[in-house]
């Protein structure tokens, strides 16, 4: 019996009982659908992270206090502050591959303007900060070195602050009170939207770090130092030079470093690695449901073989070879699972689109995942259909014809 008629016979057999065929394929449909949806969501998150990398500024290194490798106490990132403004100046002075430096302190505070108040984050930065972060202003100008030296009461506000506290007209030139102290708004940042973690990146106020440290918070140590290298090529060199310099200044060794220097790429890679692991895990769980779907197919095929014993007897009587019977049932099983796989792929794509629309999660349907899912479901049909098909082929025609 050649392939054409085998497929015809199998399709006819499945068409004879459409409800059962659909229910049998349901396990595969759900399994494949789940795999596709989860992988799409995972991929979407990953691509968002990658987009975030691109938006964070090139050739940027982040120096922050605390180390993940500290021998005794692990203080973690941003732990007991050990970075000083002098460290930042030293980096700018002595590392030739560094082109810009911005020391950072951070705190939360209430800000007031025009009789409205708002709880927000206050960042104390250097004037190079916006250049390092590649974050343009929509209005006004960044504060200067002079402002830093004079501990000036000037600030840059994010779009959310502008919208919330300065509904009429331009905020530039107006006054913003930070912890009851008046600061003059000299610039407004352009919009950045939500971060990957869902935080509002436009909800912040930037003041000179000296002003932040003297007037807003009582911190004497820096939270971090943002550094921009001269180019992507010199990034590694800059990273090493900064580490050596700080080790010298802090008198630490690799084992006792109280700081960490990371490139933005490394930070983003860490986030991607996590999301990759999550995606794989979710995919594996969904893969298990595919196996279960396969077992479902095997069960139904076994029932089907028993129910169609008479039919198998007739086919054998009119001249079917055992092999042909086996091929027929195996084909039915594969067609069923491949059909389920196709439906599952469509369901998975639809689900991920739906979730994407409802929750604002990004999704990215991966062609690789689709192809793998399809062939995997066909394979499931082949593996789990083998035993029932073999059983069918070994039936004796006389007994089969007599079967009640």
Partner 1 sequence: MPPVVQLEDIHKIYDSGEVPVHAVRGVTLQLHRGEFMAVMGASGSGKSTLMNTLGCLDRPTRGRYRLDGVDVSGLDRNELADLRNAKLGFVFQGFNLLARTTARENVELPMLYGQRRYSSAEMHARAMRSLDIVGLSDRADHFPSQLSGGQQQRVAIARALVNEPQVLLADEPTGNLDSKTSVEVMGVFQQLNAQGITIVMVTHELDIARYCRRNLIMRDGRVVSDIPVPDRLVAEAEMTRLREAESAAKLTD
Could you say which residues in the range 300-329 bind partner 1, by CB under 8 A? 310-311, 313-324
Nearer to partner 1, 10 or 52 (CB): 10
Which 3 state secondary structure label does DSSP give 211?
Answer: helix
Q: CA nearest 78: which of 89, 67, 69, 90?
A: 67
Q: Write down the least CB distance from residue 391 to partner 1, Å.
A: 16
Nearer to partner 1, 127 or 322 (CB): 322
Q: Write down the least CB distance from residue 38 to partner 1, Å.
A: 38
Query: What are the two backbone dihedrals, phi and then psi, of residue 365, each rounded to the nearest 5 degrees?
Result: -75, 125
Site string for partner 1, 372-401 (x = CB under 8 A): -------------------------xx--x
Q: What is the spatial distance between Cα 201 and Cα 121, in angstroms, rounded to a whole number?
A: 10
E-strand ranges in 128-242 read 137-140, 154-157, 175-178, 181-189, 204-208, 224-229
Q: What is the spatial distance between Cα 63 and Cα 129, in angstroms, rounded to a whole number?
A: 14
Q: Does 17 bind partner 1 (CB under 8 A)?
A: yes
118 Ramachandran zone, left/alpha/beta (phi>0; psi -120 to 50):
beta
Q: Write down the least CB distance from residue 27 to partner 1, Å.
A: 24
Q: Write down the least CB distance from residue 336 to partner 1, Å.
A: 17
Nearer to partner 1, 214 or 310 (CB): 310
Query: What are the two backbone dihedrals, phi and then psi, of residue 315, each rounded to the nearest 5 degrees?
Result: -60, -40
Nearer to partner 1, 320 or 334 (CB): 320
Structure tokens at 54: 């691109």
Q: Write down the least CB distance from residue 326 to partner 1, Å.
A: 12
Q: What is the spatial distance between Cα 165 and Cα 138, in angstroms, rounded to a whole number?
A: 16
Nearer to partner 1, 15 or 251 (CB): 15
Which 3 state secondary structure label does DSSP give 13?
Answer: helix
Q: Does 214 bind partner 1 (CB under 8 A)?
A: no
Nearer to partner 1, 28 or 320 (CB): 320
Query: Looking at 9-17, 49-57, 201-209, 383-391, which segment touches partner 1 (CB under 8 A)?
Result: 9-17
Residues in contact with partner 1, counted by CB under 8 A, come to a total of 24
Q: Write down the least CB distance from residue 12 to partner 1, Å.
A: 7
Give 236's contacts (C-beta < 8 A, 6+ positions apart).
none
Q: Which residues bind partner 1 (CB under 8 A)?
A: 1-2, 5, 9, 12, 16-17, 310-311, 313-324, 397-398, 401
């Amino acid at each position: 019996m050649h392939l054409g008629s085998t497929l015809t016979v199998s399709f006819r057999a499945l068409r004879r009982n459409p409800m059962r065929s659909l229910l049998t394929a349901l396990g595969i449909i759900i399994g494949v659908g789940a795999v596709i949806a989860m992988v799409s969501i995972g991929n979407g998150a990953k691509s968002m992270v990658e987009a975030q990398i691109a938006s964070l500024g090139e050739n940027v290194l982040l120096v922050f206090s605390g180390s993940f490798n500290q021998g005794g106490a692990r203080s973690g990132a941003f732990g007991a502050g050990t970075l000083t403004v002098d460290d930042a100046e030293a980096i700018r002075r002595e590392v030739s591959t560094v082109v810009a430096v911005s020391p950072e302190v951070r705190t939360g505070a209430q800000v007031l303007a025009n009789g409205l108040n708002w709880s927000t984050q206050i960042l104390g930065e250097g004037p190079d900060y916006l250049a390092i972060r590649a974050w343009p202003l929509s209005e006004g100008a960044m504060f200067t070195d002079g402002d830093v030296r004079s501990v000036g009461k000037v600030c840059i506000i994010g779009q959310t602050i502008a919208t919330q506290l300065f509904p009429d007209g331009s905020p530039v030139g107006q006054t913003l009170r930070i912890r009851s102290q008046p600061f003059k708004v000299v610039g407004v940042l352009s919009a950045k939207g939500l971060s990957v973690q869902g935080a509002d990146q436009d909800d912040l106020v930037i003041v000179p770090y000296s002003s932040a440290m003297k007037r807003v918070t009582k911190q004497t140590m820096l939270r971090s130092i943002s550094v921009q290298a001269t180019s992507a090529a010199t990034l590694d060199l800059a990273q090493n030079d900064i580490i050596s310099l700080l080790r010298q200044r802090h008198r630490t060794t690799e084992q006792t470093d109280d700081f960490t220097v990371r490139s933005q790429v490394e930070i983003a890679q860490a986030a991607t690695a996590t999301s990759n692991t999550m995606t794989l895990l979710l995919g594996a769980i969904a893969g298990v449901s595919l196996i279960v779907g396969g077992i479902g197919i095997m069960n139904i095929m076994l029932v089907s073989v028993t129910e169609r014993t008479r039919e198998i007897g007739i086919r054998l009587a009119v001249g079917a070879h055992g092999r042909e019977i086996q091929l027929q049932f195996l084909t039915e099983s594969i067609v069923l699972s491949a059909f389920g796989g196709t439906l599952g792929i469509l369901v998975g794509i639809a689900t991920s689109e739906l979730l994407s629309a409802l929750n604002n999660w990004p999704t990215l349907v991966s062609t690789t995942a689709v192809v793998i899912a399809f062939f995997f479901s066909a394979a499931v049909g082949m593996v789990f259909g083998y035993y029932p098909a073999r059983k069918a082929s070994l039936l004796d025609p006389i007994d089969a014809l007599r079967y009640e």
